[in-house]
Amino acid sequence: MNRLFLLPEYPTFQPGWDQEQIHDTFFKCISWQVEETTDAINCPYHYVCDRTYPSNYPPAVDILVLLFATASYLVTLVIVIMDMSKGRGRIFVCQSKRYFLPSGPVCLPIIILAFAKGPQINTIFPLSCICPAILQLVLISALSFDNGADKDIKYVFFAASTVSGILHASLYLDSVLLPYYTGFDALMSSKFSGECASCVCRKEPLIVGGKLVRYRGWSMTTFLVVGVLFLRIVCKISGTNSGKLLYIKNMMEKFSWILITVDCVYLTANSPPERVMLRVGAFGSIFLLICLHVIKEACCQIFPMAYVVEKLRWASTSLQTT
């Protein structure tokens, strides 16, 4: 891919520098070192990349991660569609099929492992671009399917493991995104000083995560979804099927879906301008799941109302005939 449009224009940029290597250095830099500068007007803050992540894994690893992510999404999509066809209250994934969901005990550890090695999975299928969409897939999976038919202990163990997995995945996601967004900020809002390939001058200090992209995995969205799962555990243990606790849980679920949608739209519009088609495809797929959930909730509201209307009409017709 041609990344020339990401390079800041500056006269001291040396044509002999490897542009791909410069981008890899910026996006995978772990530590930016502040150096003394004698030009307080044009270069008040001078930074150089001090340390980067290890080199990338072979492309075969990227292909395996791509196949796994695609399979996880397709499984979720199929289960969501079949769940819609069977109606609310007859969840398709009550038993063994839940284990194949991205938030299940089989897929979630693999996702956590991929996020932990995310900075090195960066050739064909760069996780620095796609891992937010994968986390959103996990959150949607956790929200969409509540295995309420399980026994109390089994349900608590399953939900608690999902909570732990989501928190770990979010932390590892930030370990991938923060250097990536920091490097993006350093590349786009700085100028090369000419001292070295990663030496840049800035008008303001460089902060961890940068200022150009605000998305974080450890965010209000994640905490709301974790809160929903926690309240599901409390409701299951206490046997609460109504009341304020159930109302709070339902409201938190709705806000969680809203925040996931906001994150999806934000990342589509404000992510770094590389691998654009891959990003659009990933977040477009997430948006499809969100739309299916909205349709499902609308149908769940409309069908009972239509049933009541039909019963009233039948009762009215019976009274008229008698």
pLDDT digits (tens, 9 = 90+) for 10-52: 444 455 556 777 888 888 899 999 888 777 788 888 999 988 8
Q: State the Cα torsion 279-283-284-285 to the nearest 10°.
A: 110
Give dist(CA 23, CA 221) in Å, integer.
30
Q: How many CB atoms lie within 10 A of CB 196?
A: 13
Mean pLDDT of 203-214: 90
Global pTM reads: 0.85
DSSP state, 15? T
Tell me whether residue 56 is exposed, middle or buried, using C-beta atoms within 10 angstroms of its C-beta: 0 to 12, 13 to 18, 19 or more. Answer: middle
> What pLDDT does residue 156 have?
83
Give dist(CA 173, CA 102) in Å, integer.
15
Q: In what order do the strands lie in the sheet with 200-202?
A: 29-35, 45-52, 200-202, 191-192
- Asked if residue 27 lies in contact with residue 9, where contact means CB atoms within 8 angstroms, the answer is no
pLDDT of residue 309 exceeding 80, the answer is no
pLDDT of residue 77 exceeding 50, the answer is yes
Of residues 197 and 44, more confidently modeled = 44
Give dist(CA 321, CA 112) in Å, integer.
65
pLDDT of residue 263 exceeding 60, the answer is yes
Percent of the chain with pLDDT over 90: 38
Task: Share the mean pLDDT of the chain.
Answer: 82
> What pLDDT does residue 11 have?
41
DSSP state, 55? P
Tell me whether residue 138 is exposed, middle or buried, using C-beta atoms within 10 angstroms of its C-beta: 0 to 12, 13 to 18, 19 or more. Answer: buried
